[in-house]
Structure 1
Amino acid sequence: MNHYIDTFPGRKITIDGVSHLYFGGTSYLGLQTDADFQKLFIKNIKKYGTNYGASRKSNIRLSVFDKAEAYLADLVGSEACISLSSGYLAGQFLAQALNTKAHQFFYAPNTHSALYQEKIKPYTTFAALNIAVREHLSSSKTTPVVFLDGIDFSGCNYPHFEALQVLPLDKILLVVDDSHGLGIVGKNGGGVYSILAKLNIKELIVCGSLGKGFGIQAGAIFGTKARLAALADTSFFGGASPATPAAMATLLEADGLYGLKRNRLQRNIAYFLDHLKKRKQFHFMQDHPAFTFSNVQLTEYLAAHKIIVTSFPYPDKNAQLMSRIVLSAAHKKKDIKHLLECVNILP
């Protein structure tokens, strides 16, 4: 069932005048409604304005972009970083830039739509993907580009990426969407880049949204200096408006707050798992707050007990129903206790 609301859904959500607990969405650190984070953002809006529609290649350039990109590259562990106005745009930019005669695209299971440039179906298993990539390498000189999601909610990739490692990674350009990992998993919220960088990949490029983990409307791409310099030199990058500078300034100033919120989130995850009796009903990943399930009755039961979770066909109406419980740093212990009382009572 769709619900229309008039305020941002924090730990609570009001539907038809009735207050419910909200365990959905992607505000993992609960920053969008956090008073301290909002104070920082408002201060930076007063300094940088509400929007910046000029090109990054303009003769007038704001230094905050370079500073934020250097901060992000250091956090993630990449040589360089470039930012854009959204994670979806970052994915589309990469897919378009790499769509040349020198490359052949392959999509891993559950790859996000942000990485699709053409109507290419993803492989249903990594075994099938492995066979296809190796057959391509034996018959063509073009480089295979493999796209996948770092956090795919099935638990197949992060944290160990075991299925990925059956591929001939030393011959592959790997593009990873880490929208649900950046700011949340990895050392200091650095995401999956440092994990994948150890796998002897020919070339690794990671992209993603900064909205889910960092609470700002922006996207980013991480990789080598040479690759990102080439991307930044394109008309696509020069023609697109950047992220708002106020958001990038807030990213730089909220470092301590991000750490505090991540610690709270991990405590909430630990409490939920310690008291969850029905673990086998959920797909979940180490240190990640999303718990995917397929029991439609659970969604209905929770709603009847004034708990709303994520549950809708994604990314379009023809897709499979996506249902998950999402914890956030904003949730209180009593919220999670009530959730557990409802989840644990089901057969």
Structure 2
Amino acid sequence: MIKYIDSFPGKDLQVGSTNYLYFGGTAYLGLQTDVEFQNLYIDNIRKYGTNYGASRKSNIRINIYDQVEGYLAKLVGSEACLSLSSGYLAGQFIGQFLNKKEFKFFYTPNTHSALYVTNHEENKPTSYVTFSSLNIAIRDHLEKNKTNTPVVFLDSIDFSGANFPDYKGLQALPLEDVILVVDDSHGIGITGKNGGGVFRIIENLNPKELIVCCSLGKGFGVQGGAIFASSNRIKELTNTIFFGGASPASPANLASIYQSEALLNVKRVLLYQNVEYFRENIDRVSKFKFMLGHPAFTFSDEKLTAYLEEHHILVTSFRYPNENANLMSRIIISAAHTKEDINTLCEVINLYFK
């Protein structure tokens, strides 16, 4: 059931006169409601303004963009980084840029809509149901066509457990002949070394080329997107009309990421501790699909969702990305949750499965 609220859904939210514990959303580190982070963000708004609508190609250029892109590239482990106003735009940018006759697109199971070149359902490419069928299709393409390089799109975190953290299906592909485009929106900021996401992990699989894009809003708590790739590829993207004609991410948003490294590290430790505490105190964790090192616990039991709501606990549960899709139900543990919150959740779930 849809709930309408009047403030940001932190770990607690109120619907009408009813108070709920909230274990959903994508605010993994709880930054959006953290007072220290908010104060830093407000200070940056006062310095950089509420929005910056000029092109990055303008004759007036704000230094923070290059500073943050350099910082993020080092954090992730890529040669270079390019920031944009959203993660969805980043995915679309890559898809449209590579949509040329010398490339052939392939989509892995559960690929996010941000990576599809078209969102028109009648023209939308289909993702492969399994990595086995994808592997066969790519090898068949390589055998028959020597001029079109395969481009494989995938989500680093697909919530089924098929990708992160081992990427077994990906490893079976002929990666030495494949350009990988990876959406790391649910990984960057919370997974990898110091929250650097999956770039280093997948780079070690030695693909022909690796391009990673992401939203910055989930792991870093501010609106924005980014692309990580080789210096040459980032230079090509920067020189496009697409990039030059678009307004950039808010400089206040990027500055807040750059200046909050110590806080992010503290929050990430809290998140890991909370996730482990949940796993240790829930009796039937096998009822959920989850990935070691990630705070999402997915399930398909609609009765459990209703039971949790009866006990004043709300989780993510809706059909995504449209009404024809499967119901997505997910418990999200965040750095903002207390042990008392998690105890309450575990007690309710444990009673349900008794």
Q: Which residue of 2 aligns with 1:135?
A: 140
The reply on whether 1:37 has 2:37 as its aligned counterpart is yes
Give the match's secondary structure for 2:318: strand
Instruction: Please report how far the alpha carbon of residue 280 of structure 1 lies from its aligned counterpart in structure 2 after TM superposition.
Output: 1.4
Give the match's secondary structure for 1:325: strand
Deviations 1:87-132 (A, max 9, x none): 0000000000000001000000000000001310000000000000
Q: Which aligned pairs between 1:217-296 and structure 2 lie closer than 5 A?
A: 217-296=223-302
The reply on whether 1:321 has 2:327 as its aligned counterpart is yes
- The amino acid that maps onto 2:198 is V
Q: Which aligned pairs between 1:1-347 and structure 2 lie closer than 5 A?
A: 1-118=1-118, 119-140=124-145, 141-347=147-353
Instruction: Please report how far the alpha carbon of residue 178 of structure 1 lies from its aligned counterpart in structure 2 after TM superposition.
Output: 0.2
TM-score scaled to structure 2, two decimals? 0.97
- The amino acid that maps onto 1:286 is L
> For the residues of structure 2 that align with 1:184 and 1:210, how far apart are their CA atoms?
11
> For the residues of structure 2 that align with 1:158 and 1:324, how far apart are their CA atoms?
17
Instruction: Please report how far the alpha carbon of residue 17 of structure 1 lies from its aligned counterpart in structure 2 after TM superposition.
Output: 1.6
> For the residues of structure 1 that align with 2:134 and 2:233, how far apart are their CA atoms?
25
Deviations 1:171-199 (A, max 9, x none): 00000000000000000000000000101
Give the match's secondary structure for 2:33: coil
Give the match's secondary structure for 1:230: helix
- The amino acid that maps onto 1:256 is A
Instruction: Please report how far the alpha carbon of residue 276 of structure 1 lies from its aligned counterpart in structure 2 after TM superposition.
Output: 1.4
CA RMSD of aligned residues (A): 0.5
Give the match's secondary structure for 1:163: helix
Structure 2, unaligned runs of 5 or more: 119-123
Give the match's secondary structure for 2:168: coil
> For the residues of structure 2 that align with 1:277 and 1:169, how far apart are their CA atoms?
40
Deviations 1:198-253 (A, max 9, x none): 01100000001000000010000001000010001000001110000001111110
> For the residues of structure 2 that align with 1:17 and 1:49, how far apart are their CA atoms?
36
Deviations 1:25-66 (A, max 9, x none): 000000001000000000000000000000000000001000
- The amino acid that maps onto 1:27 is A
> For the residues of structure 1 that align with 2:266 and 2:259, how far apart are their CA atoms?
13
TM-score scaled to structure 1, two decimals? 0.99
> For the residues of structure 1 that align with 2:17 and 2:92, how far apart are their CA atoms?
40
- The amino acid that maps onto 2:263 is L
> For the residues of structure 2 that align with 1:248 and 1:16, how far apart are their CA atoms?
35
> For the residues of structure 1 that align with 2:325 and 2:217, how far apart are their CA atoms?
24
- The amino acid that maps onto 1:244 is S
> For the residues of structure 1 that align with 2:171 and 2:272, how far apart are their CA atoms?
28
Instruction: Please report how far the alpha carbon of residue 260 of structure 1 lies from its aligned counterpart in structure 2 after TM superposition.
Output: 0.5
Instruction: Please report how far the alpha carbon of residue 160 of structure 1 lies from its aligned counterpart in structure 2 after TM superposition.
Output: 0.9
- The amino acid that maps onto 1:72 is L
Instruction: Please report how far the alpha carbon of residue 275 of structure 1 lies from its aligned counterpart in structure 2 after TM superposition.
Output: 1.1
Instruction: Please report how far the alpha carbon of residue 287 of structure 1 lies from its aligned counterpart in structure 2 after TM superposition.
Output: 1.3
Give the match's secondary structure for 2:83: strand
Paired residues, what number? Answer: 347
Deviations 1:138-177 (A, max 9, x none): 1112000000000000111111101111100000000000
Instruction: Please report how far the alpha carbon of residue 16 of structure 1 lies from its aligned counterpart in structure 2 after TM superposition.
Output: 1.5
Instruction: Please report how far the alpha carbon of residue 273 of structure 1 lies from its aligned counterpart in structure 2 after TM superposition.
Output: 0.5
> For the residues of structure 2 that align with 1:228 and 1:307, how far apart are their CA atoms?
44
- The amino acid that maps onto 1:90 is A
- The amino acid that maps onto 1:302 is L
> For the residues of structure 2 that align with 1:17 and 1:147, how far apart are their CA atoms?
45
- The amino acid that maps onto 2:281 is H
Structure 1, unaligned runs of 5 or more: none
Instruction: Please report how far the alpha carbon of residue 266 of structure 1 lies from its aligned counterpart in structure 2 after TM superposition.
Output: 0.6
